[in-house]
C-alpha cells in the first residue's frame, strides 16, 4: 500500500464542511468519490482538520492509502478533472508509511478576513466578513496578542463536551482530550480595506478561531477592554467569550509537519 499526501485548495461556500455527511455535499465526500472513480477503492481520505461549513482552504492536507500504481502526477490531473471546480488538488506526493495528515501535523495557520469598506466588491462577498462599522483596531491588536502562548482555550471552544472524547476514541489521538493549545502567532494586519487576522498554533478547537475573532471584535467595538481577554481565558467558560464570527471569512492557509 502507498500513502499519498494531497494538498487541496477549496471554496467552502457551497459545502457542508470537510467531514462526510449523508445527503450533503462535503469536501471529504467529493474527494472520496473522485478517488473511487479513479482507483475503484472505497476509502475515506483523512484531512489535517475538519473545516466547518462555509470555511475555505488554501492548503488543506489530506492523506489516504492506495494499492494503485498510478503515478502521483497522473493522480493530480485526473482528480482535478473529476472533482467539482470549487475543489482543486494542488500537489500529490508519496509519503512514508505512517504519515497521517492530522496525527503528523505540528502546527496550523489560519487567516480571517474582515472587509472594512462600505461596499464589498461582488467577487469578494462570499470570501470575507463585512464589518464597515467603527472599530478600534489598536484595541483588537492588543487583545489578539494576549492569547499567544500556552492556554486552556475552553472559553473559545464550541460547546460540545463529548466531541473531544469522541475524536480521541475514533483516532487514538490523546491530544484531543485536552483544551490546552499553544498559539505562536496572533495578530492583525491592515491591507487597504481589509483587516486580516493571522493565527498560528499547534492545534485548534472546534470554532476556536471564529470565537477568538468574535471576541476581538467586541474589543474593537469597546464592549470589552483588551485585558479582559485574560479573564475570559481563565474562566474556561464559553459564555464568557464573544459570539462566533461568520464562517465565510475563515481560511486554513498552512499545515506544518
Active-site residue set: 52
Neighbour-count burial for 226-248, b at 16+ CB within 10 Å, e otherwise = bebbeebbeeeebebbbebbbbb
Residue 48, CA atoms < 13 Å, CB-side half-sphere: 26
Are the CB atoms for 127 and 248 separated by under 8 Å? yes
Are the CB atoms for 46 and 100 separated by under 8 Å? yes
DSSP 235: H
Beta bridge partners of 64: 4
Q: Which three cell numbers stand for residue 23?
A: 445527503
Say how far apart CA 209 and CA 203 lie, in whole Å: 11
Dihedral angle computed from the Cα positions of residues 170, 172, 173 and 178, in that order, rounded to the nearest 10 degrees: 70
Are the CB atoms for 52 and 158 separated by under 8 Å? no
Amino acid at each position: 500500500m502507498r500513502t499519498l499526501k494531497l494538498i487541496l485548495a477549496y471554496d467552502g461556500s457551497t459545502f457542508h464542511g470537510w467531514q462526510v455527511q449523508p445527503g450533503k455535499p462535503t469536501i471529504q465526500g467529493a474527494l472520496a468519490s473522485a478517488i473511487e472513480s479513479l482507483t475503484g477503492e472505497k476509502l475515506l481520505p483523512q484531512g489535517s482538520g475538519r473545516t466547518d461549513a462555509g470555511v475555505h482552504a488554501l492548503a488543506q492536507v489530506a492523506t489516504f492509502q492506495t494499492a494503485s500504481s498510478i503515478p502521483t502526477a497522473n493522480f493530480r490531473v485526473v482528480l482535478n478533472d473529476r472533482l467539482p471546480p470549487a475543489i482543486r488538488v494542488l500537489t500529490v506526493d508519496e509519503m512514508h508509511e505512517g504519515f497521517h495528515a492530522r496525527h503528523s501535523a505540528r502546527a496550523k495557520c489560519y487567516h480571517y478576513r474582515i472587509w472594512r469598506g462600505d461596499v464589498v466588491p461582488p467577487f469578494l462577498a462570499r470570501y470575507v466578513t463585512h464589518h464597515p462599522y467603527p472599530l478600534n483596531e489598536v484595541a483588537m491588536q492588543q487583545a489578539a496578542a494576549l492569547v499567544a502562548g500556552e492556554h486552556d482555550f475552553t472559553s473559545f471552544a464550541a460547546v460540545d463536551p463529548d466531541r473531544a472524547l469522541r475524536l480521541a476514541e475514533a483516532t487514538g489521538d490523546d491530544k484531543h482530550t485536552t483544551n490546552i493549545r499553544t498559539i505562536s502567532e496572533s495578530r492583525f494586519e491592515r491591507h487597504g480595506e481589509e483587516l486580516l487576522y493571522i493565527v498560528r498554533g499547534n492545534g485548534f478547537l472546534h470554532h476556536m478561531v471564529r470565537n477568538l475573532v468574535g471576541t476581538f471584535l467586541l474589543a474593537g467595538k469597546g464592549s470589552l477592554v483588551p485585558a479582559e481577554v485574560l479573564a475570559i481565558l481563565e474562566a474556561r467558560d464559553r459564555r464568557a467569550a464573544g459570539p462566533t464570527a461568520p464562517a465565510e471569512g475563515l481560511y486554513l492557509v498552512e499545515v506544518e509537519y
